[in-house]
Chains A and B, each alone.
Chain A
């Protein structure tokens, strides 16, 4: 029974879980499930957007799935206008609010909800003050309409028929509240002002004056005597002036007083256009000026009002422009006095003091301050009209190019001429701020502080900085007067001569890198050394340092100079004396134990470093890394005799044979038909050290270097081509060092050896229908040299066609007939023939240009009977156009041509006669494209994830080799379409992609394949530009950044 009950329970659970999973699969989450805080915020808002109220988030937003992102259905105002019709908002009217025209709706409105009406972001005028400066609206007397009803009393929000978004035109708007009745007439001297623009005299927002009048009022108007200028109030045209404007003004204002300041007249004043600056009724500034302060001047002299980083206080404070200029007449530039006098009003003390100094800068002396300063302010320090050095170069033009050097003095580079030179006057020559080292000390004080505790370079101690350095710049590091070797040799010529006349010279010394060891200024050590040996030496000899750190050292190694000279020596390896006597300084060679250890060999005959490492070794006796076992066992007698007179010589007849006594495995090799000469001569020590060695297999040197010791001429010099294993000194790639069954002790015979690396050539050659006889009979070396060639590329024994002419008799009639009677005997045979084999007769390359295949050579070349038969009738692309006009025309119509196409250089990629590749390409696409775009292919090679087309050399899968309308010559209009040719982008992943999905990192990009991948690969997996996908994702989804 219990089991029965359990069964039903299980069935019930399964059914229930099935229903639940179906529920999970189809139920869509509500937005507020996650955005509950958002809901709480806007549910409490006084006004809420209808879509928010109805929970219709989808009206505006696209669902974003598991990737959180704000994705709107439309961008910008287009989203709002899809519900709020333009006409309803009045946007079809002629004057549209700039905030609506240029900005988003959400600049003023909250799209979800607000406590202000119309979903405005703030209540009343506050929302307007976000853009409009509130000071203009909050003066002492505020227009009642503004105070009570806000800006909306007179203006509409979005657009209007009237300018300035006014609800009505001109005075009609005002008369809505201020009716044109007797009261209004009385207040305006009975003049009919109902049709006159009220804002001529009144500020419609706020004013510090009564009746909202502007800052200054014309006394005639204030006194109500309007008819002193205008016709009578009851005249048909009451506002007509009673005389010409200038005469009216000068009727009251004294002309002589206005013109007495100087000969230069302000143009408006000269024209009698007083109202250009003054308002005849009220003015926003004092003296009835139309605009207050500098603003008046800036209405015409607009450029002077541009904000600057270094304003002139005279302009920005006090009287402003009028600090220096007069409004009606004045001296030059309407200045109140001569320029130097105007400047001297504030800067008089400076001028007076500077003029007393010994050297005065001519412009300063002449009082021409504006040569170097902009009196209206500038963005440069000192109110310079440009960067300081540019100002200086304005007069000192020759210096600009003189100072342009690879290593420029920092102040010169930064354009700070005033770091060293005074601008006005100085007591030193060249307006220098100080002389000699005192000047340099200003910046280099730390360096120049005191003498070195150990040594000081005399020119440095004497403050003769310019003895070595150019103060402005030079093309040598350290701003030296010339290269270091020359500068130092000026004083140290004898030392240089002595050091360079011996057998060995320190490489740093030979290169003139004196400062690698010596300080040019001062040092805590003697002879200006930067550090004590061996630390100083280790800064270059890093390998030795590492070795010394890992194994016991020979004690003298602490003092490199005890054995080596620092600059040059008459002995090899910079030794201070011959090696035997050098070692003898410490090792008593007459001592019995020494003699016993060295088999009584005469010390003069011992070359110590043959067995011992002079620097370090893991061996107590400083033997080199590898030690021959008999030597280690001190079993000398096995190889050496003990009898006099040469106890260290090998036993008679023992050469070679002794080695084989132990190295039995070599017997087979030595017995091979072809053996290495030292092996044949039984001279094992030719290559091996029988005692100790630092190199594997007890070799006397590194393998490749050892071979070159006997075979130095294996590669000709200069070589036009060198075999890679030879260049890599990897001789053993082809040769056995002892013996083989093959000539030259090659590890494999003939073509098999070459095929090991050159399968791409050897494979097709072996399968070719028509084979080249020399290759079949003589192998690769029939045409190629194995090491290097001084005569031709590709290791050829001679260049083509001379090489071919060795077998093919070019002077025979048959040869001419086969080549349509063209004299091709000096042409490059491989431009048509494949020398390794082909499936076409005459070894023609597999793809042949149709005119060549048909023997129609004269189609491109001049006739064979011509004086210049091989000359083409014209040059590409004109020549190619004869047949390929359609293709070339199509190319020319593209905006962006591949550079070889633009150059008309068809032959850069194509062979004109025959080729192994389709399209007559000179080589595979990877090779042809890689000729120029090696960087791109290298990137792919280094990429852990390979992009198939790139890896396979199918560059044309994505790029058009001739050109396109886009910059990367893609075969499709966009990168994404190009990718989609192979990849099903829609199935790729769930991440939103496409033109409508904005890239959060860059507003001008949409999400596409290249937003995350790089087409030619990266150093990371999946061709991502970052090490992990997380690193990539958080670039947009920053909230998940850990």
Chain B
């Protein structure tokens, strides 16, 4: 993809045959596909904050306001199912991930701990870090990589802990000293770790195995308001700008590539968006918290 300096007038671009390449720069576009409003029994979702997608079309929603999880299947542009998973150990689910075996990991906002649910929906126990000295982490966010390594954002320890599939700590990276409030982390297929500071609107990255974050570009304060979630997908980073009501697209080098979505109540618009996940075929699911729904978008993102 090629970008052309903005200073060139459009007419000149057309004359040079560069306009088509400019158009390609905006290849990712969120187009509303469908919305999930109810569970299998027809009960409404309430303030959902989390959503996780699996490659087989399995989608799990954290129906936070109703203190439960819902499981759906996405196929052929349609979402079906909506069976309820309710556990007393999971009062306020806010972030979700699905591992390679189909187990669901859910972060409880009240206990600040992660609990596992087996692929059949049974309680699989909490995630207990092994080999960590000192206080247990207070988890603010988490992610899984392709090898089911678990990345925990420890808000009190101001660090990211990486647990292997046996929950043993295999790597940890301290927050940068000048990072404000780190609200989320992401890990790409190459193992690079990203962290987003919502207050400073800055992205940080740490190559696999390194012990320190480095800034990924300048502050995005003039582009985003208060980003609380970051997802890495297809060589891009997607910042969910919760207070700014939209999604910011960034290159892997932190370069700003545009914004998608806007505030509103109807389908395709968002009101305090939460977690974002990507299903096969470039379909993105977004927990649309204050609209009490989860929305699916075709994105063109691969």
Contact = CB atoms under 8 A, between A and B. Distances in A.
Interface of A: 102, 306-307, 309, 379, 386-387, 389-390, 400-401, 403-410, 413-415, 446-447, 473, 475, 477-479, 513, 515-516, 519, 523, 530-531, 535, 539-540, 894-896, 899, 902-904, 931-936, 966-968, 999, 1001-1005, 1010-1011, 1025, 1035
B265 A1011 contact: yes
B147 interface: no
B24 A407 contact: no
13 contacts: A401-B191, A405-B251, A410-B24, A414-B300, A519-B16, A539-B12, A903-B155, A936-B243, A967-B47, A1003-B44, A1004-B291, A1005-B291, A1010-B290
A379 B76 CA distance: 8
Interface string B234-273: 1100000001100000011101000000011111000010
Contacts of A531: 12
Instruction: Name, among A404, A475, A895, A1004, the residue most crowded by chain B CB atoms within 10 Å (CB to CB).
Output: A1004
A926 B194 CA distance: 31
Nearest to A478: B2
A386 B280 contact: yes
A401 B207 CA distance: 13
A386 B281 CA distance: 8
Interface string B1-25: 1111101110010001100100010
Contacts of A523: 16
Nearest to B47: A967
A516 B181 contact: no
Nearest to A306: B75
B210 interface: no
Given A404-B190, A896-B92, A967-B289, A932 B199 contact: yes
A400 B156 CA distance: 35
B132 interface: no
Contact of B255 (A390, A406, A530): A406
Contact of A475 (B16, B189, B253, B265): B253
Contacts of A903: 138, 155-156, 158
Nearest to A406: B251
B76 A307 contact: yes
B42 A1035 contact: no
Contacts of B169: none
Contacts of B12: 530-531, 535, 539
Contacts of A447: 17
Contacts of B91: 895
**Interface range, B side:** 35 or more
Contact of B92 (A400, A403, A413, A895): A895
Given A966-B47, A1005-B291, A387 B252 contact: no
Contacts of A400: 189
Nearest to B232: A404
B109 interface: yes
Contact of A902 (B140, B226, B252): B140
Contact of B1 (A413, A999, A1035): A413
Given A408-B235, A1001-B264, 14 more contacts: A379-B281, A404-B190, A516-B5, A516-B8, A902-B138, A902-B156, A932-B198, A933-B226, A935-B226, A935-B243, A967-B64, A1001-B266, A1005-B292, A1025-B263
Given A935-B243, A1002-B293, A895 B110 contact: yes
B302 interface: yes
B79 interface: no
B8 A530 contact: yes
A390 B278 CA distance: 14
Contacts of A896: 92, 109-110
A540 B226 contact: no
Contacts of A404: 188-190, 234-235, 252
Given A410-B24, A413-B302, A540-B7, A1002 B266 contact: yes
Contacts of B290: 967, 1010
Interface in B74-115: 75-76, 91-92, 109-110, 112
A407 B75 contact: no
Contacts of A401: 188-191
Interface of B: 1-5, 7-9, 12, 16-17, 20, 24, 27, 37, 42, 44-47, 49, 55, 64, 75-76, 91-92, 109-110, 112, 138, 140, 155-156, 158, 180-181, 183, 188-191, 198-199, 225-226, 234-235, 243-244, 251-253, 255, 263-267, 272, 280-281, 289-293, 300, 302
A415 B255 contact: no
Given A387-B280, A407-B2, A410-B1, A967 B263 contact: no
A415 B281 CA distance: 10
Contacts of A967: 47, 49, 64, 272, 289-290
B235 A1002 contact: no
Given A379-B281, A516-B5, A935 B293 contact: no
B291 A902 contact: no
Nearest to A1003: B37
A911 B128 CA distance: 35
A1002 B300 CA distance: 26
Instruction: Name, among A403, A404, A894, the residue most crowded by chain B CB atoms within 10 Å (CB to CB).
Output: A404
Nearest to B250: A406
Given A896-B109, A936-B243, A967-B49, A515 B155 contact: no
A306 B46 CA distance: 31
A1010 B155 CA distance: 32
Nearest to B208: A401
A405 B252 contact: yes
Given A478-B3, A531-B12, A967-B272, A894 B181 contact: no
B42 A894 contact: no
Nearest to A380: B281
A473 B92 contact: no
A1010 B264 CA distance: 11
A1004 B45 contact: yes
Listed from nearest, the 7 A-B pairs whose CB atoms lie closest are A406-B251, A401-B190, A1004-B292, A935-B225, A404-B235, A1001-B265, A895-B92
A1005 B265 contact: yes
Given A414-B302, A513-B5, A446 B17 contact: yes
A934 B201 CA distance: 11
A410 B138 contact: no
B82 to A, nearest CB: 12
Contacts of A932: 180-181, 198-199
A1004 B44 contact: yes
B252 A475 contact: yes
Given A539-B8, A936-B243, A967-B272, A1002 B2 contact: no
A413 B235 contact: yes
A161 B300 CA distance: 51
A453 B111 CA distance: 70
Contacts of B155: 899, 902-903
A343 B76 CA distance: 27
Nearest to A389: B302
Given A387-B302, A404-B252, A896-B109, A999 B7 contact: no
A105 to B, nearest CB: 14
Contacts of B42: 102
A899 B255 contact: no
Contacts of B293: 1002, 1004
B100 to A, nearest CB: 15
B148 to A, nearest CB: 16
B280 A515 contact: no
A1013 to B, nearest CB: 12
Nearest to A403: B235
Nearest to A1004: B292
Nearest to B76: A307
B265 A999 contact: yes
Contacts of B76: 307, 309, 379
Contacts of A535: 12
B18 to A, nearest CB: 8
A1035 B235 contact: no
A678 to B, nearest CB: 40
A485 to B, nearest CB: 14
